[in-house]
């Protein structure tokens, strides 16, 4: 009898957890980087309805959220960490959104490089100033994280990619299985 009660409790807990995860992935604002993910960062996050409306004529139904944080280190160094999460109803739509964003990112980049796998597909780009961006497709979610050096000192390529890797891992954890 006691074993049956324990098993019932476990099944109920598992179904509640699965429901919470499903609800989380439908709202992109819940999975963008938060202030706690960006220590000492001051900034904002919210929805991007204009982006969603721009994709509707292409037959894409999306829900998009963004984040943008500034981190200051002394008087000569600062960085801007920003990005977005786009949630789609299907993998096919996510692939189309990814292809559109990838084309735009590749056209603006000075060069591309690699990072450890963060999703099903990804593109890592660098500007001439070594400011990195990563664009990732993970199931029905497309996400992007970028870092910009602000102030008098610029990043080296190695520093930029190290910074990007840290924030990208945090975003990957928030997105989960997409």
> If you average pLDDT over residues 15-40, what whole number do you get?
69
Within-domain flag for 18: no
| Residue 130's pLDDT band (cuts 50, 70, 90) | confident
pLDDT at 53: 97
- Structural domain range at position 63: 27-175
The verdict on residue 136 lying in a domain is yes
Q: Is 11 contained in some domain?
A: no
For residue 150, list its beta bridge partners. 78
pTM over 0.85: no
Kindly state whether residue 17 falls inside one of the protein's structural domains. no
CATH number at residue 133: 3.40.1000
Give the mean pLDDT of 83-111. 96
Question: Are 74 and 68 spatial neighbours (Cβ–Cβ below 8 Å)?
Answer: no
- Cα gap 123→105, rounded to integer Å: 8
Integer Cα distance of 172 and 156 in angstroms? 24
- State how far the Cα of 167 lies from the Cα of 145, in Å rounded to an integer: 7
Does 76 map to a domain? yes
Residue 165 near residue 112 (C-beta atoms within 8 A): no
Residue 4 in any domain: the answer is: no
Q: Return the percentage of the chain with pLDDT > 70, whole number.
A: 85
SS (H, E, C) the chain: CHHHHHHHHHHHHHHHHHHHHHHHHHCHHHCCCCHHHCCCCEEEEEECHHHHHHHHHHCCCCEEEEEEEEEEECCCEEEEEEEEEEECCCHHHHHHHHHHHHHHHHHHCCEEECCCCCCCEEEEEECCCCCEEEEEEECCEEEEEEEEEEECCCCCHHHHHHHHHHHHHHHHHHHCCC
Domain annotation covers residue 39? yes
For residue 67, the cross-strand partners are 45, 83
Please answer whether residues 122 and 135 qualify as being in contact, where contact means their C-beta atoms are separated by less than 8 angstroms. yes
Q: Are 24 and 65 in contact (CB under 8 A)?
A: no
The confidence band for 5, taking pLDDT boundaries of 50, 70 and 90, is: very low
What's the total number of domains in the chain? 1
Instruction: Please give the pLDDT value at position 13.
Output: 42
Structural domain includes residue 20:
no
């Amino acid at each position: 009898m006691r074993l049956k009660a324990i098993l019932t409790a476990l099944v109920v807990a598992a179904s509640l957890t699965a429901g919470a995860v499903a609800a989380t992935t439908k709202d992109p604002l819940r999975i963008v980087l938060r202030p706690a993910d960006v220590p000492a960062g001051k900034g904002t996050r919210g929805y991007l309805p204009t982006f969603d409306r721009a994709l509707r004529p292409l037959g894409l139904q999306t829900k998009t959220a963004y984040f943008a944080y500034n981190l200051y280190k002394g008087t000569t160094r600062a960085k801007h960490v920003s990005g977005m999460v786009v949630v789609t109803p299907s993998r096919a739509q996510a692939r189309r959104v990814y292809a559109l964003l990838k084309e735009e990112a590749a056209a603006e980049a000075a060069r591309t490089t690699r990072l450890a796998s963060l999703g099903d597909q990804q593109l890592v780009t660098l500007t001439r100033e070594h400011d990195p961006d990563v664009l990732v497709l993970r199931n029905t979610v497309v996400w992007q994280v970028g870092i910009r050096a602000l102030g008098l000192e610029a990043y080296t390529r190695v520093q930029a990619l190290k910074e990007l890797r840290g924030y990208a891992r945090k975003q990957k954890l928030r997105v989960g299985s997409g």
